[in-house]
Structure 1
Amino acid sequence: MGDTRRRVTVALGTTALVAPLTLALGATPAQAASCTTQTGPYQKKVEKFLGRPVDGKQSTADCKAIRAFQTKHGIQPNIGYAGPVTWGVMDLMQKQKAVGKNPNKSGKCPVNKGRIACVNLTLQLSWIQDGKKLVYGPVPVRTGRDGHETRTGLKKVYWRNIDHHSSLYDVPMPYSQFFDGGQAFHSAGVSMWNPPGSHGCVNMTKTVAKKYWSLLKKGDDVYVYGRKPGT
């Protein structure tokens, strides 16, 4: 019996490395396979976001569409329920889109520092500017979760490692550019809208992380402000 349990445990552990994100993040096969018939509190808003008929009533087609969105972004449980987490991700996407090409409209990221990487925790956006000129972005990012918040303030890139591997969390951190202790810009293989967030780093897609690597250098300024939703 002990050997059987050990084989099952090993098999599940191996599956998590290659299974879809939903399973890797802890969903059980039963959760991944189910689809709820319940109408969620954000049903109409979620239906509108997904381009579904807005009637405020859960249907099989609604559930499949919601569940596909949840699976894509690692939202758990991915059962097609129009709840606060799912709507929160959609609402954030809409707010990010509304920023357009003027991410520093508020002027909160310093324009007197020359080239600087800005991180707006509230909107989960980052960009690079030079004075008032937008150099790159804005792009969606994934910052620290509750208890592991990305620290705010003016910082500088102090160390770069293109092939860094975290000894603390035993995960790869490609294109790492550290700006505050163990907190860095780096590529991550998850959706940028995957809740709850990182362990303090500013996660980016590989494409964005490579671009940041080419645009920034040691000594460049980084400014982090705001507060990540839910932290």
Structure 2
Amino acid sequence: MQPPGPDGTYGSPVHVTVPSSRPSAGPGGGAGAARSPGPVPPRTVAQVLWAPGDSGPGVRELQARLRQVDWLHDGPTGFYDDLTERAVRGFQGKRGLPRTGRTDTVTWQRLLGMTREPGKWELYRMGGQPAGPPDPRCLTGRVLCIDKTSRTLRWMIGGRTVSTMAVRFGTSSAPTREGVFRVYWKSRHHVSTLYHAPMPYALFFSGGQAVHYSYDFAARGYAGGSHGCVNVRDEAAMAQLFAQVRVGDKVVVHW
């Protein structure tokens, strides 16, 4: 039987290695000795300035600057939508930054260093600017008041604006008609028989021209155009509008 150890217990002694408080010596010791690392400074987290769902003049400037470096081809709208998020993510990835799609202070400073301050024309050049005063014909009744100058649609009841959304129009070869019309047909799941393209939430007001949600507008923005219809890029807003508008409501398309 194994005799007890000095402390009166049996079994093999447990050896505990205590780290030295002195820096370990490198090869040869002395001046070449390696030093213990000092305290690690806390990691700085970049502050998020704008993120999807935000809106305002800061987002508009962000979009204008992203256009300058060819990461965004849509016009500044002031709304941090999916196209803006995708552009920010691409810009971040190209420069080795975390691809969050949110604009933090590091991303913003990098973008500022690569761009110049946008002028008013750049900030509002592609539509999406605040809607101008409504046309006098829109001030009574239930009206879809569509402004070609600001590229906006106002849904108005009794002279009060219920909602506003960005819209896109037809091209020069197939322009959107101007004038006063009436909604004569609503078609929730409409598909164009002429172009074989989906026209969800269609509110027809003049022949084959309608206000409707556009997948193309949502994907490409103002880089494209319609065949004369008034395109809406915000599906949720268009769905809500479709539910509120009635057959017979007035439509005013104006400059």
**TM-score of the superposed pair, with normalisation by structure 2:** 0.52
Query: Which of 202, 223, 231 matches 2:230?
Result: 202
Query: Which of 131, 134, 157 matches 2:183?
Result: 157
- CA distance, structure 1, for counterparts of residue 225 and residue 175 of structure 2: 9
**Alpha-carbon shift at residue 178 of structure 1 (Å):** 0.3
Alignment of 1:91 with 2:119, yes or no, is no
- CA distance, structure 1, for counterparts of residue 155 and residue 63 of structure 2: 31
Q: What residue is the counterpart of 1:56 in the other structure?
A: none
Q: What residue is the counterpart of 1:223 in the other structure?
A: 252
Please give the per-residue CA displacement for 1:164-208, whole angstroms capped at 9, x wherever unaligned. Answer: 000111111111110000000111113463234111001112112
Does structure 1 conserve the Cα–Cα contact (< 8 Å) formed by 2:134 and 2:145? no
- CA distance, structure 2, for counterparts of residue 201 and residue 172 of structure 1: 12
**Alpha-carbon shift at residue 211 of structure 1 (Å):** 1.5
Does structure 1 conserve the Cα–Cα contact (< 8 Å) formed by 2:199 and 2:214? yes
- The CA RMSD measured in Å over matched residues stands at 2.9
Q: What residue is the counterpart of 1:125 in the other structure?
A: 152
**Alpha-carbon shift at residue 67 of structure 1 (Å):** 2.2
- The within-5 A match list for 1:9-158 is 50=63, 66-70=69-73, 72=83, 90-92=123-125, 96-97=128-129, 99=130, 103=131, 105=133, 107-112=135-140, 114-137=141-164, 139-158=165-184
Does structure 1 conserve the Cα–Cα contact (< 8 Å) formed by 2:212 and 2:229? yes
- CA distance, structure 2, for counterparts of residue 50 and residue 122 of structure 1: 20
In structure 2, relative to structure 1, the CA distance for the partners of 1:130 and 1:147 (3 Å cut) is: same
Determine what percentage of the aligned residue pairs are the same residue.
29
Does structure 2 conserve the Cα–Cα contact (< 8 Å) formed by 1:49 and 1:90? no
In structure 2, relative to structure 1, the CA distance for the partners of 1:197 and 1:108 (3 Å cut) is: farther
SS in 1 for 2:228: coil
1:209 is aligned with what amino acid?
M
Higher relative contact order (CA 8 A, sep 6+): 1
Does structure 1 conserve the Cα–Cα contact (< 8 Å) formed by 2:183 and 2:251? yes
Structure number with greater Rg is 2
**Alpha-carbon shift at residue 127 of structure 1 (Å):** 1.1
Q: What residue is the counterpart of 1:168 in the other structure?
A: 194
SS in 2 for 1:123: coil
Q: What residue is the counterpart of 2:58 in the other structure?
A: none
Q: Structure 2: any 5+ residue segments left out of the alignment?
A: 1-60, 75-82, 85-114
**TM-score of the superposed pair, with normalisation by structure 1:** 0.57
Q: Structure 1: any 5+ residue segments left out of the alignment?
A: 1-47, 53-61, 74-81, 227-231
SS in 2 for 1:209: helix
